[in-house]
Homo-oligomer: A and B are copies of this chain.
Amino acid sequence: MEFGLEQTIALLVRTPAVLDTLLRDLPDSCVLQDEGENTWSACDVVGHLIHGENTDWMPRAKRILEFGESRPFEPFDRFAHKEKQSEISSMPQLLDEFARLRTENLVHLRALDLQPEDLLRRGLHPALGIVTLSELLATWAAHDLTHLHQISRILAYPYRDAVGPWSRFLGVLHCAGHSAASYRSGNE
């Protein structure tokens, strides 16, 4: 096991509060703005995190523990939140829903009382093949951080001209996201 489960949970616990502190009550112009065609706003990102809480992390952890490699995960649709936007549309509602689901999921995760041997158990990802429970939980935390990284970039986007010659010193203005092309169109 290459990461500590308690450290991972410490990060997972924080994400809803971090996003709440950063995004609640920001003007709509900030939270609805994206980075151009086919990119996401901060609202889209929180919607995507909500979808992950509902369908990705804990459902997949349970599938590994129940079925091992014999039954692959359901594919995770990265764009499902786009269909949900008519149901939950304001940032405060999105933040409340994300915090509620994350709290519930971490209660369930702790209740599993995972032991080192459980973390080595293997499951079947529909695109990536064999993965372990340890890798899934590490990915949950790193996925939060990928989207915090993305939100900092989205919020900086309106400043790319306004900063004038300082632009070269501001790495966030020159970030294009780094995820594999398959991520942009595929599922996780």
Contacts and interface: CB of A to CB of B under 8 A. Distances in A.
A100 interface: no
Nearest to A146: B172
A173 interface: yes
B163 A138 contact: yes
Contact of A173 (B3, B26, B142, B175): B142
Interface stretch (A11-19, A80-88, A90-98, A101-109): A11-19
A10 interface: yes
Interface string A147-159: 0111011011011
Given A10-B27, A156-B146, A179 B183 contact: no
6 contacts: A3-B158, A10-B30, A129-B165, A132-B164, A139-B163, A145-B153
Contact of A11 (B155, B166, B172, B174): B155
Given A131-B165, A142-B170, A159-B142, A148 B150 contact: no
Nearest to A7: B27
Question: By CB atoms of chain B within 10 A, which of A136, A163, A173 has the most?
Answer: A163
Interface string A106-143: 00000000000000000001001101101110110111
Contact of A22 (B14, B131, B180): B14
A171 interface: yes
Nearest to A158: B3
Contacts of A164: 128, 131-132, 135, 138-139
Contact of A162 (B129, B134, B153, B170): B134
B162 A175 contact: no
A29 interface: yes
A160 B21 CA distance: 27
A142 B153 CA distance: 9
